[in-house]
Amino acid sequence: MKPKHQRLLLAVIAVFALLGAGLIAAAALREEASYFYTPTTLASANVAPGKAIRLGGMVQKGSIVRAADGVSITFTVQDKDKTQKVAYRGITPDLFVEGSGVVADGRLGPDGIFVADSLLAKHDENYVPKELADIDMNSAEHTKDTLSK
Amino acid sequence: MAEAGLAALWLAAAMALLQLVGGMTLLRGGAGQLVPLIKPAAYVQGALCAFAFLALMWLFYVTDLSVLLVASNSHIDKPLIFKLAGTWGNHEGSMLLWVSVLSVSGAAIALLEKRIESKTLNATLAVQAFIALGFFAFLLFASNPFERLVPAPVEGNGLNPLLQDVGLAFHPPTLYFGYVGLSIAFSFAVGALLTNQVGPAFARAMRPWVLAAWIFLTIGITAGSYWAYYELGWGGWWFWDPVENASLLPWLAATALLHSVSVLATRNALRAWTIMLALVAFAMSMAGTFLVRSGILTSVHAFAVDPERGSFILALMLLYTSLAFVIFALRIGSVKQGEPFQLISREGGIVANNIFLSVILAVVLIGTLYPLAAEAMGDKISVGPPYFNKATVPIAVLLMLALLIGPMLRWRRDDLKRLKYWLIGAAAILLWSGIAVWKFAPDIGLFPLLGIALSLALAVAAWLPLRGRKLLRTPLPIFGMVIAHFGIAISVFGMAAESGFSSETLTALAPGESAQVAGWHVKLDDVNPVVGDNWVAVEGQMHAVKNGNAFVLRPQSRQFFKPEMQTSEAALLTRWNGQLYAVIAQPDQEGDGRWQVRLWWKPFVSFIWYGGLLIAVGGIIALLGRMFRRTKKPAKNKWQTA
């Protein structure tokens, strides 16, 4: 190979490798990026069961039900207008309590129940899950009261 | 003390400015009278920064609560080691550490570096000062660590309990040393570009810094992974969290750079390529700092900060990286092409290494930044392990395959026929181990299977470069390479075994009840309260029995007060072939006296971190080899001339 062409060849290889990386990333993102929904947006979006998504909102008061095995729970996530039932098996985060904010990673089951792999709860006073920062906690709190009436 | 620290920072900034101006007059071609001041300014800047950092550390040591930073991050009752670690366990202090390491390293270069021309050295120091200047501005105008608080509070806020861990106290500085080392490599690269000195001498001057940065990053990532594993109580060792990626990205770039700089140093090839990688490595360490310190992420690493600071760091990052790429574009034409080589050669192998690492880097970078970009457009998206595993693991497999052959190739040109026995041997190991694993566990999954097979082949391949060498006369860097590559085999074996063969049991137990996991019989004997320095906990006492051997496990669920927080302290039982991992959580709400218990058996999981340490040890041996040879060579020359 002529030396002159070597630098060109290396540059071409590098460009192709980066294009390849972009394609791999785009393909994997299309399949694996998980979108964030609240119960309201989830109800209006047409999300296929089994597709990884995140669900955020408030844990409805009185909705946490523990199964006999001691490690499975179901609860309801609500926002202003809608609710969504969630099933989770595992150790719940420390600050996962009724009436507080939660973000669940998981997917919709065929029965319409959201199956969570992990839960992210409000951590401490300084930390709110990013996705919940925009949701007005007070109005959600308020809605809950009107709902329970 | 706080005022003295602040004054030292201002003076250090002035020194950096002096270096920068001196450097600019130098490049103008003028004989500038400022040029001889560049080196002394670098010494003074290093000393002032070291003083400022020690001053802050002193304020934390005496817990001077009239200083805002101390009051909001420390507490009078905190154990001493965490008081000291509190110096850098917060936004302002960590940025001060960053710039102090940068300045002290600048002084070290000015003092020690003798291999490159003084013009290039001065240009390098000027670039270094330019970087430091941005961070001085950031500290002085947007996050002053020495700000006073009036009136002073009585006891202070405390440090996030998750961060109150000895291992973690030294985790951030380790990564910072890595980041800063890459910024020095960058200064060398730009200095050499500006003065037309891109060649082996420059590569040899830059190499120890790249190597050192890479060692620190390797240790930092390994330690961080182990910390996440035992402290978070989730049983995982890598979560593809953006903050983890922030340390992985510079590591990938540094690994690529480390290999290509060797080619430039020994063979005078891959010149533009190496410069490019040095710029990318620096851009990645800036991106890492930005991701972690801008508050754009929510995680234990990202201290709550206001958006103004985030924008400041982003502006700094964009300024430096775009300037660097502009200089690259303008000056790269003047860099002559290096020595040619054939594709089947050591150089070719290293190009393959660089390409695969760059592709992994690009894929990880896209996955890390995509959610941020999407959020700016109004979409809330998260990109998690499924994306990263799917997109990176296949490329990592190719990288491992290249690693089976690359180190055995000769420089310049080689023929695969020469390696035919090893190629057949490698194929045999891959086939045999692949089939054996598949027979043993048909449903293990493709990538864990490939991982085990490749790591076994690499465990052999790593040692082959020593074949036919006289061991006593082999240079230390060769041993370093062999050990680091063997470390990769060990680490990948651990990852593959853990992801392919872990078993998990999640249950609720009352004292006296037991559970099974992977042949272990684990009985919850009792649950008791325990009290620590600044926490209380419930501690489970468990008996784990397998094949007649009994062990005690004591997982805890801890409650901290300042600030209020609950953490899970996993209990780990390490056996030669894996770890038993136990977590206990809050009692059953129904009140029937049961506790949630999660048990994992993780085969060979500790190999992941042993491998990581071996990789770092390999790096240290190589670094010692380089330094040893450096001190030895001038002596030899003296003898020859005498």
Between B372 and B399, residue with greater pLDDT? B399
Q: Which chain A residue has the Cα nearest residue B362?
A: A21
Mean pLDDT of B486-509: 93
**Closest approach of chain B CAs to the CA of A123, in angstroms?**
8
> Is the pLDDT score of B375 beyond 80?
no
CB–CB contact B596 A70 (8 Å): yes
- Spatial distance between the Cα atoms of B641 and B418, rounded to a whole number of angstroms: 41
Q: How far is A149 from chain B (nearest CA, A)?
A: 25
- Encode pLDDT of B505-555 as tens digits: 998 888 889 999 999 999 999 888 898 877 888 899 999 999 888 999 999
Q: Give the other-Cβ count within 10 Å of A21's Cβ.
A: 23
Neighbours of B349 (CB within 10 A): 21
For residue B13, give the 3-state DSSP assignment.
helix
* Shortest CA distance from A67: residue in chain B: B590
B residues 548-607 lying closer than 8 A (beta carbon) to A: 563-568, 583, 585-586, 588-590, 594, 596, 598
Supply the pLDDT for residue B600. 94
pLDDT of B158 strictly over 70: no
The residue of chain A with its CA nearest to that of B595 is: A70
The CA distance from B422 to B414, in Å, is 14
Same domain, A50 and A69: yes
Q: How far is CA B414 from the centre of its chain?
A: 34
- The Cα–Cα gap between A33 and A53 comes to 8
Nearest-angstrom CA–CA distance, B474 and B472: 6
Whole-angstrom distance, CA of residue B208 vs CA of residue B201: 12
Query: Do A42 and A20 belong together in one domain?
Result: no
Is A5 marked as binding a ligand? no
In this prediction, residue B630 carries a pLDDT of 53
Confidence of residue A128 (pLDDT cuts 50, 70, 90): very low
For A41, A56, A126, A147, B536, the CA distances from A142, given in Å and listed in that order, are 20, 17, 22, 9, 35
What is the token pair recorded at B597? 């218990």
Among B276-280, B293-297, B387-391, B563-567, the minimum mean pLDDT is found in B293-297
SS3 content of chain B, % helix, strand, coil (to 5): 65, 10, 25
Task: Tell me what percent of chain A is helix, strand and coil, each rounded to the nearest 5.
Answer: 35, 30, 35
CB contact under 8 A, A36 and B382: yes
40-99 in chain A: CB under 8 A from chain B? 52, 54, 64, 66, 69-71, 89-92, 94-95
Residues A13, A45: one domain? no
Q: What is the mean pLDDT of residues B341-363?
A: 92
Residues of A in contact with B413 (CB under 8 A): none
Q: How confident is the model at residue B210 (pLDDT cuts 50, 70, 90)?
A: very high
A132: CATH = 2.40.50.140
* Cβ–Cβ below 8 Å for B358 and A94: no
Measured CA to CA, the distance from residue B8 to residue B1 in angstroms comes to: 11
CA distance B398 to chain A (A): 13
Whether pLDDT at A58 is above 70: yes
Query: What is the architecture, at CATH level 2, of domain B160-342+357-379?
Result: Up-down Bundle (1.20)
Chain B from 380 to 439: CB within 8 A of any A CB: 380-384, 386-387, 390-391, 395
**Separation CA B555–CA B538 (nearest Å):** 9
**In terms of domains, do A56 and A19 share one?**
no
A89 contacts in chain B (CB < 8 Å): 506
B565 closest CA partner among B305, B231, B302, B80: B231
Instruction: List the single residue in A with minimal CA-CA distance to B272.
Output: A7
Q: How confident is the model at residue B165 (pLDDT cuts 50, 70, 90)?
A: low
Would you state the structure tokens that stand for residue B31, as one six-digit string? 């004989």
- Whether B534 contacts B562, CB under 8 Å: yes
**Residue numbers of B between 486 and 515 with CB closer than 8 Å to A:** 506-508
The chain-wide mean pLDDT, for chain B, equals 86
User: Residue B71: is its pLDDT beyond 60?
Assistant: yes
Least confident of A94-108, B151-165, B568-582, B617-631: B151-165
A:B CB pairs within 8 Å: 125
Q: Which domain holds residue A11?
A: 1-33
How high is the pLDDT of residue B349? 92
Shortest CB distance from A127 goes to which of B298, B362, B567? B298
Task: For residues A67 and A19, state if they share a domain.
Answer: no
Question: Do A143 and A91 fall within a single domain?
Answer: yes
> What's the residue count for chain A?
149
Q: Residue B632 pLDDT > 60, yes or no? A: no
Query: HEC states along B59-100?
Result: HHHCCCCCEHHHHHHCCCCCCHHHHHHCCCCCHHHHHHHHHH
Residues of B in contact with A70 (CB under 8 A): 507-508, 588, 590, 594, 596
CB B69 within 8 A of CB B2: no
Residue B613 has pLDDT above 80, yes or no: yes
DSSP B141: I
Looking from the CA of A105 toward its CB, the CA atoms found within 13 Å total: 16
Contact B367 A3 (CB under 8 A): no
Does residue A42 share a domain with residue A12?
A: no
A123 is in an annotated binding site: yes
Q: Residues A117, A141: one domain?
A: yes
What are the sequence ranges of the domains in chain B? Answer: 1-159, 160-342+357-379, 418-501+607-630, 503-603
Q: Find which of B212-226, B331-345, B460-474 is predicted with most confidence, using mean pLDDT.
A: B212-226
Report the C-alpha gap between B584 and B572 in whole angstroms: 12
| B383–A29 CB contact, under 8 Å | yes
- In chain B, residues 271-300 whose CB comes closer than 8 Å to chain A: 272-273, 298
Cross-chain residue pair A124–B382, CB shorter than 8 Å: no
Looking at residue A148, its pLDDT comes to: 30
Residue A59, classed as helix, strand or coil, is: strand
Asked if residue B411 has pLDDT above 70, the reply is yes
DSSP 8-class letter at B337:
P
**Which of A7, A35, A94 has the CB atom closest to B381's CB atom?**
A35
- Position A125 scores a pLDDT of 43
pLDDT of residue B494: 96
**Confidence grade of residue B633 (pLDDT, cut at 50, 70, 90):** very low
B385-405 helix and B420-440 helix, angle to the nearest 10 degrees: 140
Q: Assess whether A13 and A59 both reside in one domain.
A: no
Whether residues A18 and A89 share a domain: the answer is no
From the list B341, B387, B507, which residue is nearest A33 (CB)? B387
Specify whether the CB–CB gap between A30 and A52 falls below 8 A.
no
Q: How close is the nearest chain B Cα to the Cα of A131, in Å?
A: 7
Domain count, chain A: 2
CA distances for B200 relative to A3, B130, B207, B573, B627, angstroms: 19, 25, 10, 50, 16
List of chain B residues whose C-beta atoms are within 8 Å of the C-beta of residue A117: none
Considering the domain architecture, whether residues A17 and A68 belong to the same structural domain is answered as no
Assess whether pLDDT exceeds 70 at residue B406.
Answer: yes
| Predicted confidence band of residue B479 (pLDDT cuts 50, 70, 90) | very high
Residue to substitute from B270, B343, B387, interface A, most A β-carbons within 10 A: B387
pLDDT at residue B447, rounded to an integer:
92
Comparison of pLDDT for B148 and B515, the residue scoring more:
B515
**The pLDDT of residue B611 is above 90:** yes
Q: Do A70 and B273 touch (CB under 8 A)?
A: no
DSSP helix/strand/coil, B602 = strand
Same domain, A57 and A90: yes
Q: How many angstroms separate the CA atoms of A37 and A55, rounded?
A: 5
The tokens of B552 are what?
A: 């005690």
Taking CB atoms and an 8 Å limit, are B386 and A7 in contact across chains? Answer: no
Contact between B272 and A17 using a beta-carbon 8 Å cutoff: no
A99 compared with B398, residue with greater pLDDT: B398
Instruction: Report yes or no: A16 at the B interface, CB cutoff 8 Å.
Output: no
Q: What is the pLDDT of residues B248-265, one digit of tens each?
A: 999 999 999 999 999 999
Segment B269-318, tens digit of pLDDT: 888 889 999 999 999 998 888 777 766 665 444 444 556 777 787 888 88
